Amino acid sequence: MGISKKLLELGLPQGKSNNSIDAISIIESFWVGIWIGCFRFSHTAVVRLDEVLRQIFGWKRVASCTTFERFFKKIHSILQ
């Protein structure tokens, strides 16, 4: 559908660590969490532990709830 390409154009905040998860993977895994019924950041651990989802989407690693919180705080601070 080209969503990943569109997200790349937005200039999303990137982690500075060499161990950081790329912004596209963070957003994709968050969306998948919503689609499967997660309604709190803590519920996204279900996505993190699901090896099949990781393989389907080609994620090397999946963000933790703390990673989601920090990422969305960065976006919030950019928008203000």
Tens-place pLDDT, residues 33-70: 999 998 888 888 899 889 999 999 888 888 888 888 88
Residue 8: pLDDT over 80: no
Q: Indicate the average pLDDT of the chain.
A: 84
Predicted local confidence at residue 1, as pLDDT = 61
In a domain, 29, yes or no: yes
In a domain, 50, yes or no: yes
Predicted local confidence at residue 51, as pLDDT = 92
Predicted local confidence at residue 75, as pLDDT = 82
Q: Which domain holds residue 33?
A: 21-79
68 touches 15 (CB < 8 A): no
In a domain, 66, yes or no: yes
Q: What is the pTM of this model?
A: 0.79
Number of structural domains the chain divides into: 1
In a domain, 60, yes or no: yes
| Spatial distance between the Cα atoms of 19 and 35, rounded to a whole number of angstroms | 27
| Spatial distance between the Cα atoms of 25 and 28, rounded to a whole number of angstroms | 5
In a domain, 2, yes or no: no
In a domain, 14, yes or no: no
In a domain, 10, yes or no: no
SS3 of residue 8 by DSSP: helix
Query: Please, which residues have CB within 8 angstroms of residue 61's CB and are 6 or more apart in sequence?
Result: 21, 25
In a domain, 58, yes or no: yes
